[in-house]
Structure 1
Amino acid sequence: MIDHVEHALPDYRILPPDVAARMEQIKKRDYVLEIDRVTKVFTQKRNRTVALDSIEFGVHRRELVCVVGPSGCGKSTLIRILAGLEDATEGRILMDGKPVRGPGSDRGMVFQKYTLFPWLDVCRNVMFGIEMGGVDRLEAQRQAMQWLQMIGLEQFATAYPHQLSGGMQQRVAIARALAASPRVLLMDESFSALDAQTRTKMQNYLMEIWRKIDITIVFITHDLDEAIYLADRILVLKPHPGQVEEVIEVPLSRPRRAEQMTSAEFLATKAHLEGLIRSFGASDDMDEDEVTIDLPLLTLVTDQVE
């Protein structure tokens, strides 16, 4: 008989030397984006819901931060406040030390749903943000084609959004957001509508673009694998009200590779995150793993499946 020995996962908080050195370099950089004691309260008639409670966090220049948490933790509310699409009830958002007052060209946004203008072709979609910045059409077209070359879609410049796959549409959406030269790219579950294979490709596209240009990324996701694979740090929010539970420094070297997703460091980080999410409880007070449904017997069952 072979003895099966369970090997304990490493401590997710212990960073390999190269990762620790890189994290120290990141921390020496200035904050580009600061969340300063932000609280958001929604009031409807006599009902008062605290969506976010005293959130405090800073994002360093050229950092990639993912935000995770269960439903009801305020992830999407937070990113709308960062984008200037909603106001905080209390606290403030700072960009390069200056208060954010509404949307601005210093922040680009890529949404979960496809948001390309259907009446414009791919090139004109990317040109839109550039022209809004006052650039003339010929120069905007030149810059747009450069972005399309970067994302590998220059041959689709004259195609319309409905002629593209979901992954291609999101690549164009990223190019459109970045073409306006923002300091920070905000992404609200931008890959969640994609199939698994396309999603992995998009994650790699994003990291390759991030590596090539001076951009800071805040990425909202409910996918723990995605958060660990992409992020330098992960901001974990707990629900009701949304508060910071923990900030995790991801113990993976860069550049990221698919094989890292089976490493002990990756699995240890994921196990810890899963434990945190479970500890918060399901948002509807029901554990999905324990759901049982009473169904009528429709056929004669002769073999048991479990």
Structure 2
Amino acid sequence: MTKLNLPDYKLQSEEVKDRFERLKQRPVTLEVKNLYKHFNSRNGQVTALKDINLKIHKREFVCVIGPSGCGKSTLIRILAGLEQASTGEVLLNGNAVSKPGPERGMVFQGYTLFPWLTVKRNVMFGLIESGYGEGEAEAEALQWIDLIGLKRFAESYPHQLSGGMKQRVAIARALANKPKVLLMDEPFGALDAQTRAKMQAYLLEIWKNIDITVFFITHDLDEAIYLADRILVLKANPGEVQELIEVPVPHPRNPDQLLSPEFLATKKRLEELIHPPTTDTDEDHLNLMRMVHVDDDVGSVF
């Protein structure tokens, strides 16, 4: 088998270098400073997040990956104001974040639409809560529903929609209040591969056309590289920053790039970080009792 020689994942074209130089000159929208999160357990205090520091610039798309238990969901909930940090702070445009607010929209992995409301009413909900009048909220909601391509489903109920359609409505609902930051906690994790690919394309198109900064959690390495400007890699126990990768894949993104040298080199680096080589002393292994005949080796059947 021929070994694939990949370029260093840090190598960038002049086009990509220029893009990152311009990105760094934009204002910082979201900043995390010296953030720690501790939980109490029966065995004492557990540190879920340790000394997280991060600056996210205006209209940047940042993905977060890491092994299970590294604190990805805890971090995004703190950014949303749904949980409080033990120490440290989160700043949005220089102002401290301490509770949920309309300047941050949130999309979860589960389908969180109100089942008793139509698509239109789901998108209108946050607008009315923010003080919009009925007519104004309806007009605004219909614009967002049209943007996500679901205009003819405006009067449908969630149970009448596919999984991908539900998440498009959830995105529209989150964006309707015109937040500065869109927080997404594995929003496409429950979708099949084909629908997931469509949703990624929808999200990139929306992000390209509106003034929004995106903070996106995923377990999927391909998804992170395909979507992100930068990828924040967390390690577990405790959750802390392992590396912050500038994705060398140029924009605009398209599915053909999944096989490009830049894409594959970045994926190789992520796999090295997320799945480092194991040793015989590692605790994370299976203790199995053989329950078949010794000569019944499935590995040699073919």
TM-score, structure 2 normalization: 0.94
Q: CA deviation at 1:130?
A: 1.1
- Correspondence 1:305 to 2:301: yes
Note the aligned Cα RMSD (angstroms).
2.1
Matches of 1:161 and 1:63, distance apart in 2: 31
Matches of 2:28 and 2:34, distance apart in 1: 15
Matches of 2:174 and 2:4, distance apart in 1: 45
Sort the Cα spacing of 1:239 and 1:143 in 2 relative to 1 into closer, same or farther, 3 A.
same
> Within 5 A, what are the aligned runs for 1:1-20?
6-20=3-17
Matches of 1:19 and 1:84, distance apart in 2: 33
Sort the Cα spacing of 1:6 and 1:96 in 2 relative to 1 into closer, same or farther, 3 A.
same
What is the one-letter code of the residue matched to 2:253? R
- Correspondence 1:80 to 2:74: no
Pairing partner for 1:266 from 251, 260, 263: 263
> Within 5 A, what are the aligned runs for 1:54-203?
54-203=51-200
Sort the Cα spacing of 1:139 and 1:275 in 2 relative to 1 into closer, same or farther, 3 A.
same
Sort the Cα spacing of 1:244 and 1:179 in 2 relative to 1 into closer, same or farther, 3 A.
same
Sort the Cα spacing of 1:96 and 1:296 in 2 relative to 1 into closer, same or farther, 3 A.
same
> Within 5 A, what are the aligned runs for 1:216-295?
216-279=213-276, 285-286=283-284, 294-295=290-291
Pairing partner for 2:21 from 21, 24, 35: 24
Sort the Cα spacing of 1:291 and 1:29 in 2 relative to 1 into closer, same or farther, 3 A.
farther
Question: Is this contact kept in 2: 1:67–1:218, CA < 8 A?
Answer: yes
Question: Is this contact kept in 2: 1:238–1:280, CA < 8 A?
Answer: no
Sort the Cα spacing of 1:120 and 1:276 in 2 relative to 1 into closer, same or farther, 3 A.
same
Unmatched segments (≥5 aa) in structure 2: none
Matches of 1:27 and 1:107, distance apart in 2: 22
Unmatched segments (≥5 aa) in structure 1: none
3-state secondary structure, aligned to 2:166? helix
Question: Is this contact kept in 2: 1:50–1:241, CA < 8 A?
Answer: yes
Q: CA deviation at 1:102?
A: 0.6
